[in-house]
Structure 1
């Protein structure tokens, strides 16, 4: 951990529609210590001159699957835990290279895996987890097809499995409590049909209202919230009415439901890049044919959903939701959203709004004093050109995570 003084920092953090006037930022003991003009230093301090560059808080991806090394999730669940652990470390290392200093895992990563990542020999993003996502029999993450009579896997399931199957309130409550027992920060439900599973058309509703309400109660009992996988308007409306807070995907949302979600204080997390890449690369990456057929059901309405949610005042966090070999496209979501939304709004999604969703406001997604010393320095102004955030971090000059310099090109 270094004490670092960043000089001449023009900050872009989503709070303004232009880069702020140059200031100095002092990072000490892993936190932002001070910010202001002409800061002075004493002792052992690394000085980084950000003149002619732009400084952002570390990015936040609020929808990843760090254990998904294979787009075929049934095959992924069969990979030995040791191999999944190494793959997760490699995937997370690449995420940090792209400037993501915090990621929220939406199914698969467990408390023990997070502990292992914190002991990894390389720097990795901060990891926020739900444990295993909860699915009903035949729902999203139930990878058994219609002719597969394999019994429902017992708990604990393999590390490579995204979810656990539970039916009825007693099973759901027990599964939820197991996630919290093993370190989950929040709870994830599969409340709608999905693309990457074989037996649930997109329009299927996952869980009963009573089960959804039970899950919300279990989350509230531990002081946290429920996230749900949702595509159709009927599923989104039902989830909002039952108290779900984090609305994943939302491709088929209507204006009326978006307004209600905004009134309830929900946050949406669109993940458009995953459908774009599932369409173009899914088959070559191992996605089953039955899943490929379902992609267009949600892909074609994705861009429209951004406008609907923006107009309704429903806040949106940044998410990618990529699987297997498509994971390197994580930063492509910036430019996709930029076709519809302002650059400031897109940047907010990966800073302020994502931090709010993770309930880490003031700690991440900002460069105010007291926040974690997570920052990236860019060669170009992202408010003028979102493509500076794309690719594999080629345009990121410097990455600092928790006060540790991960990358720096003087």
Structure 2
């Protein structure tokens, strides 16, 4: 499909905007000239950004607690997944990394065109403390994930929102276990769920690919992670959603004080990463029907945490592409895959992302998403 996008303010590779006469699209990529006779998409007064990468979501989840998910029928779960994929794509997310739950059957269906949705990379399993008995136990779990198609290995290195007890930063794995997991994973890099503490140090030392959540990331850890080539994937919005659910009484079993403290720490961690030059990538950690399709709200959260407009937009686009080793995407430039989002409000204003209707068009591989 050929297309001419005219009049938009176009995001460049540095996250700033330039007014363009026209952006050409042909055969699924951006071109350096407008194809003759191409249909025109008028974007005057609007902004064109690359397709967004959500680097931490759970596209097959639709309930907070696992037991609630498992009570649903397979047909119901499949329909909810299909709905989540389409709403996430329509929200502007053209590529995502699933942090546990999605399997090879989903990526196969997407590749075959059976399901419309973003491009998906998968971790398959959440490998947690039940596999922390020894190096052999952990590496066996890693191999099982790889056998099931994992492109990322997801380690649950600390507790989380619903963890019992007070020591949520205690590491579930030793330094030696993390190093072994990285070695066995090979090309499938580690994404490490950690709220903070020594598990961040060990993720850095071991050569993990990304730190997930990382509320209590310190300035020193951010500097070391930057030097080691990691990416930080904070997930700011989901914890505000959890706080609201707890305060309303809709979610029990999660200490409110833990969440409110984590929210404040999370913003500080983003600033530590920014100041250290540690790349940030966007992650929603969404896993419910009311949140799938609102993913771009996380850009607003990054802006409110203190990132500049270009920094937040690069976290949502170019940095995500680099983390997922997607050399074809992440920027609007000739020869790059034509994934893009058109917004009718200023992308550097966090309020823009409070209303998903400001996404007025999504383009995936050169095709307008219906």
TM over 0.5: yes
Alignment: residue pair count:
368
CA shift, 1:120, in A, is 6.0
Judging changes above 3 Å, is the alpha-carbon distance between structure 1 residues 205 and 187 closer, same or farther for their aligned structure 2 residues?
Answer: same
Does the CA contact (< 8 Å) of 1:249 and 1:271 recur in 2? yes
- 2:276 alignment counterpart: 312
Unpaired stretches in structure 1, ≥5 consecutive residues: 138-164
1:6-405 alignment runs, 5 A limit: 6-13=5-12, 15-17=14-16, 19-32=17-30, 34-36=31-33, 39-42=34-37, 45-119=38-112, 123-137=116-130, 165=131, 167-198=133-164, 201-220=167-186, 223-282=187-246, 287-290=251-254, 292=256, 294-325=258-289, 327-328=291-292, 329-339=294-304, 340-361=306-327, 363-383=328-348, 385-392=349-356, 394-405=357-368
> Partners of 1:320 and 1:234 in 2: how far apart?
24
Does the CA contact (< 8 Å) of 1:89 and 1:120 recur in 2? no
- 1:154 alignment counterpart: none
Judging changes above 3 Å, is the alpha-carbon distance between structure 1 residues 265 and 360 closer, same or farther for their aligned structure 2 residues?
Answer: same
State the Cα deviation string for residues 177-210 of structure 1 (Å, max 9, x = none). 2222222222111111111455784122111222
> Partners of 1:336 and 1:311 in 2: how far apart?
17
Judging changes above 3 Å, is the alpha-carbon distance between structure 1 residues 201 and 87 closer, same or farther for their aligned structure 2 residues?
Answer: farther
CA shift, 1:245, in A, is 2.1
Any idea what SS the aligned residue of 1:294 has? Answer: helix
TM-score normalised to the size of structure 2? 0.91
> Partners of 1:56 and 1:379 in 2: how far apart?
11
- 1:3 alignment counterpart: 2
Does the CA contact (< 8 Å) of 1:7 and 1:51 recur in 2? yes
Stretches of 4+ aligned residues off by more than 6 angstroms: none
Does the CA contact (< 8 Å) of 2:50 and 2:331 recur in 1? yes
TM-score normalised to the size of structure 1? 0.83
Does the CA contact (< 8 Å) of 2:300 and 2:352 recur in 1? no
Judging changes above 3 Å, is the alpha-carbon distance between structure 1 residues 282 and 87 closer, same or farther for their aligned structure 2 residues?
Answer: farther
CA shift, 1:305, in A, is 1.1
State the Cα deviation string for residues 322-372 of structure 1 (Å, max 9, x = none). 2325525432222222121101100000011111111113x1211222322
> Partners of 2:246 and 2:329 in 1: how far apart?
33
Q: What is the root-mean-square deviation of aligned Cα atoms in Å? A: 2.3
